[in-house]
Amino acid sequence: MRDRIEIKHESEAEPIFPEIGSRARLERRRTPRDGEDQSRAAIHKQIGGIPNKVLHERTGAPLKIVFIARLHTSSQEKAVGACRRLAEALSTRGHRLLILECHPHSVKQDEPPGPGQIVFYESVKELKERFAHAIRSADFVMICSNVSEGATIGDWATQIAQGITAFYDLNTPVTLAKLNRGESEHLSPSLITRYNLYLSFTGGPLLELIKKYYRSPLVRSLYGSVDTSVFYPEAARLKWDLGYGGYITEDRLPGVDELLLEPARHWPGGHFAVAGHRDSASSDWPCNVKRVHNLATSNERAFYNAQRFTLNVTGADMIEAGFSPGLQIFEAAACGTPIISDYWEDLLAFFTPDEEILFARSAEEMLDYLRDIGDKERFRIGDNARNRVLKEHSTEQRVLELESYVMEAIARA
């Protein structure tokens, strides 16, 4: 069981940001002091790690960090979960983290708290009155794109902050489309030039657009990540030859129909499963397809481990975003379950075809995979994909990337 990071709400919180060193000390990076190193086993126990996980030691002084974000939500938003894990990892690595979140009276106060030190505010006015000192004294201030009145908050924070400021865009294509229409409440063209760092959940050509057209000083991708202490291989009875877990929207339904329902119709002896966060309008479901409604997050690992193969279907939102794979594909890969996907060129940047992922363009090709690939080949592909995720898309790796981007921004500033 993972040791939980202590949460302190405003009523019991210690003074925000106890003195941990000046900015000058931050730039004079140091090696850990005697006694700071922990054994790998101890670190695994602290963060709920799994065997063979490589955890890098922090080489610089701890940062004073402020996140202004929305980390509490009743919906199953994967991006919000990724932000929570990022915050948890930063705290685990010794950084002093303060999370500020808008929490009006109309929302119940008994929701489970997020990681790190979290304090709620009710309005932008209260945020400015109570937390100006925290913003000024922070080494790094990051504002997420899901924050209400984000442009107003960003304008204020970039004016008073003495450290590095960043905007973390959780849906870059939507943000840029709104900017183009002059509708965004999260950002403005002039604000982009004032943020030291623009972080994007989406990679690819959009980053160059933000750099050149909007004149951002520094743009970097910061994809979502998978918690490898939650998603991992486990001994389980295989229930299904092929499963799909994800949103079943109108644009994804043709892919689900062609690559899962149609193979099920032609292979009555096969076993299939669909766990969708939304129901579909289709009623033509074969009897050998198990339908799982409202798959709980706590059951997702078991669902992936019960499949011989898992299906990935690319939605229009992913195609439009480009270089923005759904987090479900990382989670399935972390479980060692081999992935068969409809063809999406941008996935080639994340997984190698035939080595770490398979692409199916028709029901016939899918049936060939399901019937002809033996366990040895299946395990090889699944293990390769898992190793790729552990190396490049774990939460621990993502927080290392964030630290490097902050240090890069400091050097530029």
82-96 per-residue burial string, b: 16 or more CB within 10 A, e: under 16: bbbbbbbbbbbbebb
3-state secondary structure 142-173: EEECCCCCHHHHHHHHHHHCCCEEEEEECCHH
pLDDT value of residue 278: 60
pLDDT value of residue 242: 98
pLDDT value of residue 315: 77
Cα distances (angstroms) measured from residue 226 to each of 179, 231, 323: 30, 7, 16
Q: Are 181 and 191 in contact (CB under 8 A)?
A: no
Contacts (Cβ under 8 Å, ≥6 apart) of 384: 352, 355, 356
The model's pLDDT over 149-203, given as tens digits with 9 standing for 90+, comes to 999 999 999 999 999 999 999 988 888 888 888 888 889 999 999 999 999 999 9
- As a whole number, the mean pLDDT across the chain is 82
The model's pLDDT over 278-301, given as tens digits with 9 standing for 90+, comes to 655 555 789 999 998 778 788 899
Contacts (Cβ under 8 Å, ≥6 apart) of 355: 381, 384
Cα distances (angstroms) measured from residue 222 to each of 79, 118, 212, 277: 11, 22, 19, 25
φ and ψ at 60, to 5 degrees? Answer: -110, 175
The model's pLDDT over 209-237, given as tens digits with 9 standing for 90+, comes to 999 999 999 999 999 999 999 999 998 89
pLDDT value of residue 32: 35
Contacts (Cβ under 8 Å, ≥6 apart) of 200: 168, 169, 172, 206, 207, 210, 219, 220, 221, 222
| CA–CA gap between residue 201 and residue 171 (Å, rounded) | 6
| CA–CA gap between residue 244 and residue 276 (Å, rounded) | 8
The model's pLDDT over 97-129, given as tens digits with 9 standing for 90+, comes to 999 999 876 444 455 444 567 889 999 999 999
* Confidence check: pLDDT of 323 > 50: yes
> How does residue 247 score in pLDDT terms, banded at 50, 70 and 90?
confident
355 three-class SS: coil
Q: Are 369 and 340 in contact (CB under 8 A)?
A: yes
* Confidence check: pLDDT of 57 > 70: no
392 three-class SS: helix
* Tokens at 374, concatenated: 């033996």
CA nearest neighbour of 295 among 328, 325, 336: 328
The one-character DSSP state at 297 is G
φ and ψ at 354, to 5 degrees? Answer: 70, -15
Q: How many helices (H) and strands (E) does the chain have?
A: 16, 13
Among residues of the chain, what percentage have pLDDT more than 90? 57
> How does residue 61 score in pLDDT terms, banded at 50, 70 and 90?
confident
Averaged pLDDT for residues 36-54: 31
Contacts (Cβ under 8 Å, ≥6 apart) of 263: 242, 270, 272, 363, 366, 367, 370
* Percent helix, percent strand, percent coil in the chain, to nearest 5: 40, 15, 45
CA nearest neighbour of 9 among 63, 72, 86: 72
> How does residue 324 score in pLDDT terms, banded at 50, 70 and 90?
confident
Contacts (Cβ under 8 Å, ≥6 apart) of 230: 301
Q: Are 203 and 323 in contact (CB under 8 A)?
A: yes
Domains delineated in the chain: 10-225+394-412 (3.40.50.2000), 240-392 (3.40.50.2000)
